[in-house]
Structure 1
Amino acid sequence: MTIFQNNVDIHKPIEAVYAFLADMNNHEQLMPDNIDNWSSTEDEARFTIKNMAKLALKISQRVANKEIVCIPIDEAPFALTLRWKLDDKGVETTNATFVIEAELNMMMKMMASSPLQKLADHQVDTLKNILG
């Protein structure tokens, strides 16, 4: 299992950060520019990564004000779990950690490591920009 992650402190109560992340409709705002054909519901999202692959994700687990877990609906190029972990830091501050867990063979690891880390970094930075 290869893990890519990043985290950020957001000056909002944990309930507000959780409410935003618990709705897949909001995740389009967190995606980089190379995402096309986005469609979503509260629980699922389907999109295309330009010149790469189509992905469909669903929220498989919600733990109120703690964690949101997304997994592929259809077959993905490799086993993948996306996880947002939230930690209440008090005084209306929430630490949000985005974790990508991927089962990558050596070849996929060479090709996918940089884009997956960039995705983790981008989503965390964008979440901070949106929620402050």
Structure 2
Amino acid sequence: MNLESKKVTLNKSAEDAFNFLNNVKNFETLMPENISKFEILDEDKFLFALKGMPEIVLKKKETVPHSKIILGAAGGKLDFSLIANITEIDSNTSEVQLNFQGEFNAMMAMMIKGPISKFIDTLAGNMTVAV
């Protein structure tokens, strides 16, 4: 399953956007209002839970300076990645799009597609205020 958020334009350079997203502590400011738990586990890993959903641990897996950050599931039963693609528009403007990739059976994919789409759109939308 591959889901993409809407693209958001930030009044920040690609470097500034990258530096913000590269610090996992900043993801707390991007979370939706229905977050019930957020905890930093180490400098590259955090745990979060939304009301009515299981806890999810994300770990920074790969970074490409100023253009991409890949977070992946750390443990648990589901294997997926959350990828932030950052594009420089000019020296003071960048565009960010989140991409969710995971392998799920058809039933699971059907159940999580809506909530995951809404979640990544919320993260992306909150970037316009937080970054």
Same fold? TM cut 0.5 = yes
SS of alignment partner, residue 43 of structure 2: coil
CA contact (8 A) 2:4 2:97 kept: no
Counterpart CA distance in 1 for 2:46 and 2:107 is 27
Q: Name the structure 2 match of 1:129.
A: 129
The Cα of 1:37 is off from its aligned counterpart by: 2.3
The letter of the residue matching 2:28 is E
Q: May I ask how many residue pairs the two structures share in their alignment? A: 130
Q: How big is the shift at 1:127?
A: 0.3
Per-residue deviation at 1:102? 2.1
Q: Match for residue 58 of structure 2? A: 57
Distance between the aligned counterparts of 2:4 and 2:91, measured in 1?
A: 28
Task: List 4+ stretches of structure 1 deviating above 3 A.
Answer: none
5+ residue gaps, structure 1, are none
TM-score, normalised relative to structure 1:
0.91
Asked if structure 2 preserves the Cα contact closer than 8 Å seen for 1:86 and 1:97, the reply is yes
Kept in 2, the 8 Å contact 1:71–1:80? The answer is yes
CA distance, structure 1, for counterparts of residue 111 and residue 4 of structure 2: 14
Shift of 1:28: 0.8
Q: Deviations over 1:57-79 (max 9, x none)?
A: 10011111010000111114x32
Q: How much does 1:125 deviate?
A: 0.6
Cα RMSD for the two superposed structures: 1.4
- 2:27 aligns with 27
For 1:1-132, list aligned pairs within 5 A.
1-40=1-40, 41-76=42-77, 78-131=78-131
CA distance in 2, matches of 1:120, 1:7: 11
1:11-34 C-alpha deviation (Å, 9 max, x unpaired)? 111111111000100001111122
Paired amino acid for 2:49: T
